[in-house]
Amino acid sequence: MPDEPTPWELHRSMEALRRSLESGFASLNSRLDRVVSSELFAAYQQAVQRQFDDHERKITAIEADREADKKERDNYKRLIGLAVFTSIIAPLVILLFQLWLNKGT
């Protein structure tokens, strides 16, 4: 019978096991308190997706504005070229043409 534990030893072993389980459950509970719920995670993912969509719309609008500005600049360049031609080159051509006509007479 000396190999069998006494009731007091069994009681102490059970108490040690109970304390160990309680501390393990407390540790598990503290870790579970930091876990994010799936609903909260899904809401966060939706918010992030909305932000991405908003940024995509803003980028598209900016690109459209840049394209419109480029077209406007191209139109201004054409108008400046036409203005230079009509204000400088056309009068010179007319003057040279008149000189050529006057030489011929």
For the chain, the first-to-last Cα distance in angstroms comes to 150
5-21 pLDDT, tens digit per residue, is 888 888 899 999 999 99
Which amino acid is present at 95? L
Q: What is the average pLDDT score of the chain?
A: 90
Half-sphere exposure of 65 (CA within 13 A, CB side): 6
Is residue 96 pLDDT above 80, yes or no? yes
Radius of gyration of the chain (CA): 44
- The alpha helices in the chain, defined as continuous H runs, are 7-33, 38-84, 90-104
Q: Which residue has the higher pLDDT, 33 or 101?
A: 101
Q: What percent of the chain has pLDDT over 70?
A: 96
pLDDT, position 31: 82
Distances (CA, A) of 64 to 52, 61, 68, 69, 77: 18, 5, 6, 9, 20
Report whether pLDDT(35) > 90: no
Residue 2: the pLDDT is 63
